[in-house]
Amino acid sequence: NAGVTQTPKFRILKIGQSMTLQCTQDMNHNYMYWYRQDPGMGLKLIYYSVGAGITDKGEVPNGYNVSRSTTEDFPLRLELAAPSQTSVYFCASSRDPTETQYFGPGTRLLVL
């Protein structure tokens, strides 16, 4: 049982490039989340999903897109990378929206 896995662990992007952050969970959780973590700012919710085919915006969705074609996978897409998107990105999943969230190891993204 791997839990929540994320790839890549670290990436450097140039301004304007695009990339997809991958997230997979093997716990059969319906709920999945993408957060960004900036120093001193805690966790900000980017997007979340309540099940395959259903996604919704969180607090800071601008500049990002998501899809959820399967229960297991919840990729996050950055279309035109900007320096403001330099951050650490965490994916999480939960069985129920009120219960414990299980986090992946994170992706550190640097946009130059």
Partner 1 sequence: AQSVSQHNHHVILSEAASLELGCNYSYGGTVNLFWYVQYPGQHLQLLLKYFSGDPLVKGIKGFEAEFIKSKFSFNLRKPSVQWSDTAEYFCAASGTYKYIFGTGTRLKVLA
Residue selected from 36, 104, 109, 111 as contacting partner 1 according to rule CB under 8 A:
104
Closest of 39, 54, 37, 30 to residue 102, by C-alpha: 30
CB of 28 to partner 1, least distance (A): 18
Instruction: Please report how close the Cβ of residue 33 comes to partner 1 at its closest, in angstroms.
Output: 8
- Please list every residue from 1 through 40 that binds partner 1, using CB under 8 A: 33, 40
Shortest Å, Cβ 79 to partner 1? 25
Q: Are 90 and 103 in contact (CB under 8 A)?
A: yes
Taking CB under 8 A as the criterion, the residue among 19, 27, 43, 52 binding partner 1 is: 43
Give the C-alpha separation, 100 to 55, whole Å. 20
Lookup: tokens for 5: 């896995």
CA distance 19 to 69: 18
- Pair 69, 84: CB distance under 8 Å: no
The stretch near partner 1 (CB under 8 A) out of 18-26, 68-76, 79-87, 98-106 is 98-106
Residues within the interface to partner 1 (CB under 8 A): 33, 40-43, 45, 90, 92, 97-101, 103-106
